Amino acid sequence: MLESIDTDLPEHRPRLPGAQHPLDGIRVVDFSHFIAGPFATMILADMGAEVIKVEAPGGGDDLRRYPPVHPELDQGAPFAWSNRNKKSVALDLKSPHGIAVARDLIRNADVLVENFSAGVMQRLGLDYESCRALNPRLVYCSIAAYSREGAFADRLGFDPIVQAESGFVSMNGYPDRDGVRALSPVMDISTAMMVGNAVMGALLARGRMGCGQRVEVSLFDTAVLMTGYATMQTLFTGCDPQRNGNTSPDTCPSGVFHARDRSFYINSGNDKIFQRLMTRVLDRPDVAADPEYASGPLRSKNRERLFALLADAFICEDWSHWQARMRAAGVPCGLVRTVSEAIHSLEARDHGLVTRIPTLFSAGFPTSASLSAMVRRLWPIRWRHPLSGNTRRKS
C-alpha cells in the first residue's frame, strides 16, 4: 500500500507561509499511552502545540507494536495514526535521573496529560499537587477508565469494556443475537475529543485567572454520553433501546438497500425526504400519497411492506443511476464502502483528508540503520506518517 502512495494519494497542500495555529507556543508533556491520551495530545499537536511524548526506554508505548508493524519503520499503523506531530523522549521514571528530567519538563510546560492507573503518578511524585508546586500555571489532565477517586478508582478499562458497560453494545447489532461492539475505538476517540475540550477550556480559564487547574476525563462517562439520546429516551419511557440492525427505530425508511451493483444507505429523516424519495426518485406518487405512509411512526409500523417495495425498485438499476437521482432530489444517501474505498474516495480527495508529503517514504525505503537515524532526525521536527491526514509539517 505505502509503495503506491505517489499514484494513489494527492500531494499535501501546506498552509500559507506564516499562518499561525491556535496553540502555537503551548508546550504539552504527554505521559499517556495506548489511544485515548495519545489521540488527545495529537489533536493538540495538530493545532500547533509542542507535544513531548514521554515513553519508557526500550519498548516505548505498547501501541508501537500493534499490527500491522511496518518492517522498516518498526512501528505499527495504530501508533502512526495517533502520534503524528509529536516529539518523543525515553525516560526511566523509576530512576531519580528520569524523574528529575520529567520535573524539568513539567516546570516549563503549559499542559500535562496522563492516563496511568490510579496512584501511579503519586508514587512517582508527579501528582497534581507536586506538579502545581513546580508550575502553578500548569493545566494537569488525568484520563481515567472510571475515576481517579472513589469506589471505582482501582478499575482498569479499555474501549471495548466501556462499550459493554455503558449500554452501547446492547444497542448495536440485530435483535436475534447478542449486541456487538464497534471495531473502531469510538470511546477512545470520543474521550480524546473531550480531553481536548477540557484542556482548551482550562487554558482559556488560565488566561483569565492566571493559574492552572486539574481536569479529569473518564472513559466510562464518555461512553455513556456516546449512547446518544437513548439515555433520555430510556428515562422518558422506562424501556431500554432495542437492537435494530441497519434500520432506525426513529425514522423510516432508513437502512441498507441494494442497487444492481452496490449496496447503499438511505436516511429518510423526515416526511419531506420521504415524499421526495417517492415522487422524484422512484416516480411513485401513489406511495407518497398512501395514508399508511403518512408519518414516520406509520412508516415504521409498515416497514416490512415499504422495504420490500423499495428493494424491488432499487435492484433494477445501478448505484450511479440512483445516486444521481437522489442527489438531485435531496435524499441523503451513501455507498456502503470499505475503509480502503473511503480513504481513496472522491470525497476524501476533495477534502484533502489523506495526502502525501515528502518524507523518507518518497525516495524508497532506507535500510534499518539509516531509517533509524532519519526517524531520530525527523521526529523532533514533527515528522508525520504520510497516511495520517491533512496536518502541517513544521521545521
- Of 7-11, 118-122, 313-317, least confident by mean pLDDT is 7-11
pLDDT of residue 1: 59
Question: Closest by alpha carbon to 390, among 350, 339, 362, 341?
Answer: 350
Strand partners, 50: 27
Average pLDDT over residues 351-374: 52
pLDDT of residue 22: 95
Whether residue 370 is predicted with pLDDT greater than 60 in this model: the reply is: no
Whether residue 280 is predicted with pLDDT greater than 80 in this model: the reply is: yes
pLDDT of residue 361: 39
How far is residue 372's CA from residue 89's CA, in Å, rounded to a whole number? 15
Whether residue 207 is predicted with pLDDT greater than 70 in this model: the reply is: yes
Domain locations in the chain?
Answer: 2-225, 254-351
pLDDT of residue 94: 95
Whether residue 391 is predicted with pLDDT greater than 90 in this model: the reply is: no
63-70 long-range contacts (CB < 8 A, ≥24 apart) are 63/33, 63/34, 63/35, 63/38, 70/2
What are the φ and ψ backbone dihedral angles of 367, each rounded to 5 degrees? -70, 165
pLDDT of residue 358: 64
Strands 263-267 and 333-335: antiparallel
Whether residue 98 is predicted with pLDDT greater than 90 in this model: the reply is: yes
> How confident is residue 15, by pLDDT bands cut at 50, 70 and 90?
confident
| CATH class of this structure's domain 2-225 | alpha beta
Average pLDDT over residues 67-82: 87
Give helix then strand counts, H and E, for the chain.
19, 9
Q: Which residues are catalytically annotated?
A: 188
367-374 long-range contacts (CB < 8 A, ≥24 apart) are 368/72, 368/74, 371/72, 371/73, 371/74, 372/74
Residue at 265: amino acid letter: Y
Whether residue 372 is predicted with pLDDT greater than 50 in this model: the reply is: no
Quote the Cα angle for 165-171-175, to 5°: 125
How far is residue 180's CA from residue 371's CA, in Å, rounded to a whole number? 41
The dotted CATH code for 254-351 is 3.30.1540.10
H-type alpha helices, 291-385: 296-301, 303-314, 319-329, 339-343, 346-351, 368-378
C-alpha dihedral (370, 371, 372, 377), degrees to nearest 10: 90
Establish whether domains 2-225 and 254-351 are of one fold.
no
The separation between CA 264 and the C-alpha centre of its own chain, rounded to angstroms, equals 23
pLDDT of residue 9: 84
> How confident is residue 359, by pLDDT bands cut at 50, 70 and 90?
low
Reported as type and span, the H/E element at residue 140 is: strand 139-144
Grid coordinates representing 41 are 495530545
> How confident is residue 136, by pLDDT bands cut at 50, 70 and 90?
very high
- Higher per-residue pLDDT: 6 or 175: 175
- Of 120-134, 246-260, 287-301, 344-358, least confident by mean pLDDT is 344-358
Q: Which residue has the cell 489521540?
A: 39
Grid coordinates representing 133 are 508546586
Strand partners, 266: 255, 333
pLDDT of residue 8: 82
Grid coordinates representing 201 are 477550556
> How confident is residue 7, by pLDDT bands cut at 50, 70 and 90?
confident
Average pLDDT over residues 107-116: 98
Average pLDDT over residues 89-95: 96
Grid coordinates representing 108 are 516549563
Candidate ranges 82-91, 163-172, 361-370, 381-390; pick with highest mean pLDDT: 163-172
- Of 64-73, 264-273, 380-389, least confident by mean pLDDT is 380-389
